[in-house]
Structure 1
């Protein structure tokens, strides 16, 4: 199983890295997934992600507190609003817009109801 976890982690990290430059591709959730996969396959890669200057804090907050930073919440919801706006501008059919609005509303609500950091 270890090679499968390693492959899944590498794929998640690779797509997550692409998400840095491709708008609306969720980098942070993919890096959290990569860290979870690496925890089961490669302590070295897991430690690299865990201690990474950019990705590490979000991974640690999620793992330790199931928390999403206020900045990440704003960025996520902003990206969702932008994606929906683009869909409207592209003139997608009403059923597609309604479906997208429902999914984005549920996901946005879930993100916004996560803790913002360690319990006080």
Structure 2
């Protein structure tokens, strides 16, 4: 049991670090890592789970996802905008054509996924 909790704690902390880094680094997603952190903290540390669920940056989005499996329209728009911006930057600086095409395909797939997430009534 202690080993399992320790594993979830380490994965949660690493995921949180990657999620926070993803706020400023293009192509490193924030939301999946923060969701993974919440999942891991719920299984390892009540204190860190409570902190994450009440954090001013993440609490509303995490609560909406946890309870309704949906995102607010404004958060979804911001996410799509930042995704397009970071992929456009990456496509612009990559010199290889096949990598640009791959990034464009990934962008389209991610935008389709984001579009498929239900929106909350605001």
Structure 2-normalised TM-score?
Answer: 0.83
Q: Cα RMSD (Å) of the superposition? A: 2.1
Q: What runs of 5+ residues in structure 2 fail to find an aligned partner?
A: none
Deviation at 1:23, TM superposition (A): 4.5
Counterpart residue number, 1:3: 6
TM-score, normalised to structure 1's length? 0.84
CA separation of 1:53 and 1:29: change in aligned 2, threshold 3 A: same
Which structure 1 segments of 5+ residues have no match?
A: none
Mapped contact 1:28–1:55 kept (Cα < 8 A): no
Deviating beyond 6 angstroms after TM superposition, the runs of 4 or more aligned structure 1 residues are none
Is contact 2:27–2:86 with CA below 8 Å preserved after alignment? yes
Q: Which has the higher helix share?
A: 2
Aligned pair 1:43/2:46, yes or no? yes
Number of equivalences: 119
